[in-house]
């Protein structure tokens, strides 16, 4: 497992918050050298955004 695989796994860990994950992914995006990784990081950000929206909708349903 490469260091980037470890970082990817930690960036999708459900125990971390969106506020922690987004800056971490942005920093990774700035430092990557391969186009493949540059394409993968926005996909991860999209998943985070989807989780954020799901949390918002769940909170609205509880009100």
The span from the first CA to the last CA of the chain, in angstroms, equals 43
pTM of the model: 0.56
Non-local CB neighbours of 27 within 8 Å, separated by 6+ positions: none
Residues 9-49 have pLDDT tens digits of: 444 445 568 788 889 998 999 999 999 989 999 999 899 88
Task: Scan for tokens 């991860």, then name that residue.
Answer: 44
Is the separation of the CB atoms in 21 and 11 below 8 Å? yes
* Three-class SS state of 32: coil
What's the pLDDT at 14?
Answer: 52
Q: CA nearest 38: which of 47, 28, 48?
A: 28
Q: Within 1-63, where are the H helices?
A: 3-11, 18-31, 35-62
């Amino acid at each position: 497992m490469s260091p980037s695989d470890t970082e990817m796994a930690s960036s999708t860990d459900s125990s971390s918050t969106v506020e922690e994950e987004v800056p971490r992914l942005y920093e990774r995006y700035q430092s990557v050298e391969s186009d493949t990784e540059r394409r993968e990081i926005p996909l991860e950000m999209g998943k985070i955004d989807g989780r954020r929206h799901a949390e918002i909708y769940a909170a609205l349903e509880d009100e």
